[in-house]
Every structure is written in C-alpha cells, then in structure tokens.
Amino acid sequence: MQITQFEFHGLEEFGTIQKRLFDYIYTAFEYTNYEFQQAVEEAVCNAARYSVDGPTKAKISIHVRKMAYDIAVTVRSKTEIFDAEAYKKKLLKLLEDPKIAEMDWGDYIAGSTASSGFWYMLTGCDYLYIDSEGQSVTLVAKTGGEDYLPNRERTTRIDRLVPRFMIRKNGVIV
C-alpha cells in the first residue's frame, strides 16, 4: 500500500496541489479517470464550502491510499455538522418509487434546488463513505483485479448510485 497526504488552506490553495494529486491518482489507474477526479474536486469544494473557517481559510487535508486493486481518497475538514444518516434515509426513499429509481440523477434534480455534489461523487467512484457528522468523505474506486472493467460505462441511474453511499460511524462503515 502506498500512502500520500496533501494539506492546504482554502479552496484557492487546492489549485497549487491539484496537478500533483491528479498525477498521483493517474498512477493508480494508468489513465486519466476524469469522473474520479471530478468526484475528488467536488469533495474538496464541499470541504471548503461548509468549513467552519469559511471557504478561503478552510483547513483541508487529502489522504490518498493506493492499494493493489483500488484507490481511496479521503478529504477532511472541520465543517458544519452534516447529518449523514438523515441524508442516506432521504436517498433510500428515492428507491421506493420505481419511476424515480430508474431516472438519471441529472433528470431528477433538473429544475430543482437540489445539490448535484453527492451525485457527482457517487458517479465518479465505486462507493463513498462519509463520517456520520460530515467531517470527512472517502471516495473509493477499483483500479484492477478480476472484476475490474476499466472501460465500463459510468452510470448515472439513481438505483445504481444510492447503494454506493455509506456512512462511517464509530469506526464502522454501514
């Protein structure tokens, strides 16, 4: 396992480490995985946007773990408390309506004030887990192994994305 970490203050400083971070991620996939990069960018933007210190002074850390067959990127910042369990219940409720469950998330949120951030993150990775109070988000994507399909088409269907959303509470992923 290879581990690297980046730390910076404010969203503007993300630009100074972004190329190094994405070059490091590239070595895991051996190609530019734009969807995963977009998921990471969204996590960083959320860490800054909801930081208790504000977007220009947010203390953000990015912890990257490259393993044999996957990569995990954790973005941390002290943010306003986010009730991840309530949000997961809201997402699971979408699956109860077959019409909504089969929709692409873009069609679902079109014309609404709903945020697209989590949908971009879920689209760009194989699963994500968020701290139960929203202080960190971890994006995980396969980079190899028997069931890895590098050219697979990314899905944007709600019924395929919602199960990718998990919560880490008291050190356990649920």
- Enumerate domains of the chain plus CATH numbers: 2-173 (3.30.565.10)
The model's pLDDT over 7-33, given as tens digits with 9 standing for 90+, comes to: 999 989 999 999 999 999 999 998 899
Give pLDDT, residue 174.
85
Encode pLDDT of 29-66 as tens digits: 988 999 999 999 999 999 999 999 999 999 999 999 99
Long-range CB pairs of 132-135, under 8 A, 24+ apart, other chains included: 132/84, 132/85, 132/167, 132/168, 132/169, 132/170, 133/81, 133/82, 133/83, 133/84, 134/50, 134/79, 134/80, 134/81, 134/82, 134/83, 134/84, 135/76, 135/77, 135/78, 135/79
Please state the pTM of the whole predicted model: 0.93
